[in-house]
């Protein structure tokens, strides 16, 4: 069994440097949410010289558009969305200091290059487990773009949020190493 790394936000460069592809982590602290529409708005704002709705330095963005919360819940189902939708925008945010992203699926060569250049990691969350993941979110507040509905930018607090390092800051990619290891077993 792999050791679990308990990781508190903010995700500083010192913490990023210790993470390796394949590491199992439990995240606690403040992270932010955003999907493609929110990412587009943030990158456009930067292009106009405006500030972002939150300082991305040493922060993690979770690619999620949670369902509306039922009565008594902090948030609705909160499973990851396909990360490739953010690939056009992620390098810009990484260049501004973003150190972590959570989603599912492959990332582009441009995103991986930016991760290596600036020091960032990509975490995978379990698709299809949105209701279980939501139980790890202890607070949620819309902080920007409320017109996007469930895809608005949220500031969420997580406690022991389960994720795995898919791509580390050195560019090691679990999707590639996992396939290679599987092929060697035959």
| pTM score, whole prediction | 0.94
Q: What is the pLDDT along the chain (186 residues), one digit of tens a residue?
A: 469 999 999 999 999 999 999 999 999 999 999 999 999 999 999 999 999 999 999 999 999 999 999 999 999 999 999 999 999 999 999 999 999 999 999 999 999 999 999 999 999 998 888 888 999 999 999 999 999 999 999 999 999 999 999 999 999 999 987 666 666 666
3-class SS string, the chain = CCCEEEEECCCCHHHHHHCCCCCEEEEEEEEEECCHHHHHHHHHHHHCCCCCCCCCCCCEEECCCCCCCCCCCCCCCCCCCEHHHHCCCHHHHHHCCCCEEEEECCCCHHHHHHHHHHCCEEEECCCCCHHHHHCCEEEEEEEECHHHHHHCEEEEEEEEEEEEEEECCCCCEHHHHHHHHHHHCC
4-184: CATH architecture: Alpha-Beta Barrel (3.20)
């Amino acid at each position: 069994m792999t050791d679990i790394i308990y990781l508190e936000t903010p995700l500083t460069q010192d913490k990023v440097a210790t993470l390796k592809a394949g590491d199992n982590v439990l995240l606690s602290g403040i992270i932010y949410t955003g999907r493609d529409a929110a990412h587009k708005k943030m990158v456009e704002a930067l292009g106009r010289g405006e500030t972002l709705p939150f300082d991305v330095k040493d922060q993690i963005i979770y690619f999620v558009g949670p369902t509306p919360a039922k009565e008594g819940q902090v948030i609705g189902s909160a499973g990851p969305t396909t990360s490739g939708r953010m690939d056009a925008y992620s390098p810009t945010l990484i260049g501004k200091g973003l150190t972590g992203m959570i989603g599912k699926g492959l990332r582009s060569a441009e995103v991986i290059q930016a991760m290596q250049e600036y020091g960032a990691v990509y975490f995978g969350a379990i698709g299809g487990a949105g209701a279980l993941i939501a139980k790890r979110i202890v607070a949620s507040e819309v902080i920007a773009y409320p017109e996007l509905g469930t895809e608005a930018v949220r500031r969420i607090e997580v406690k022991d949020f389960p994720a795995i390092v898919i791509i580390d800051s050195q560019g090691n990619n679990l999707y590639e190493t996992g396939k290679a290891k599987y092929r060697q077993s035959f």
